[in-house]
Amino acid sequence: DRGLLVSNPYLTTANDQDAPASEQYRKLKSVIVKLSQMGDFDKALMVTSSVAGEGKTITSLNLAITLAQEFDHTVLLVEADIRKPCVLQYLGIKAQRGLTDCVLDGTDLSEVLVKTGIGNLTVLPAGRRVENPVELFSSNKMTELFDDIKSRYNDRYVIVDTTPLLPFAEPAYIANMIGAVLLIVREGVTTPDKLKRSLEMLKNHNLLGVVNNGVSRVNSLQGYYGYYGYS
């Protein structure tokens, strides 16, 4: 139901394109598009954060939506946080199968992809729960799946929403498979120590940038844009 898809207040780019936050997501999108056009990454990126509660999934969704709303862009959003998947919940969509089923059962991607009805946005759901996500993401089958995703859909943006970086091992494996990384930090949540540790973990990966989320006031420094910023 399209009404459900645009009703969630956190999906500001879908339900209120004139809102200040929507404008900041569009600015983030323009940076991402420019980086891809410059060859800094191949249109596939993962979105993560140091810890939970920093807004990585909301950023993934709004970035995906604002990209998909443009005529020239199609987007695949991968729900790779299988410990606490919530992408479909935000979208008001239900699906039984997804990423884990492709790896465990050999289910073809085409059978589990979900069209959202929001622009050209498609979602690969998390799929059924598994006992040990680390074993799943470190497997050769997962690597083959991400290779398939990147090659089969090389004409579209692929955004991968992952678990937080510091508590869990999965993002490190995904970063190796995807290549480019967007790190979310949140005012009042991300401490300097957590940020330093996260940057250290990502030093050998292609870190595109850091999104400063939940800014309480406009900062006069260049690179910060009010409530949602890109630095």
CA dist 76 → 109, 133, 155 (Å): 11, 21, 10
Which residue type is seen at 226? Answer: G
Nearest to 179 by CA among 196, 154, 197: 154
Q: pLDDT tens across 47-98, in order?
A: 999 999 999 999 999 999 999 998 788 999 999 999 999 999 999 999 989 9
Map tokens 């979105």 to a residue. Answer: 47
Phi, psi dihedrals of residue 79, rounded to the nearest 5°: -90, 85
Q: Residue 228: its pLDDT value, please?
A: 36
Tens digit of pLDDT at every position of the chain (231 positions):
333 445 788 888 888 888 888 899 999 999 999 999 999 999 999 999 999 999 999 999 999 999 999 878 899 999 999 999 999 999 999 998 999 999 999 999 999 999 999 999 999 999 999 999 999 999 999 999 999 999 887 789 999 999 999 999 999 999 999 989 999 999 889 999 999 999 999 999 999 999 998 766 544 333 333 333 333
* Per-residue model confidence (pLDDT) at position 215: 67
At 214 the pLDDT is 77
Q: How confident is the model at residue 223, as a pLDDT?
A: 37
- pLDDT confidence of residue 103: 97
- What pLDDT is recorded for position 4? 42
pLDDT of 16 reads 84
Q: What is the pLDDT of residue 216?
A: 60
- According to the model, what pLDDT value does residue 224 have? 34
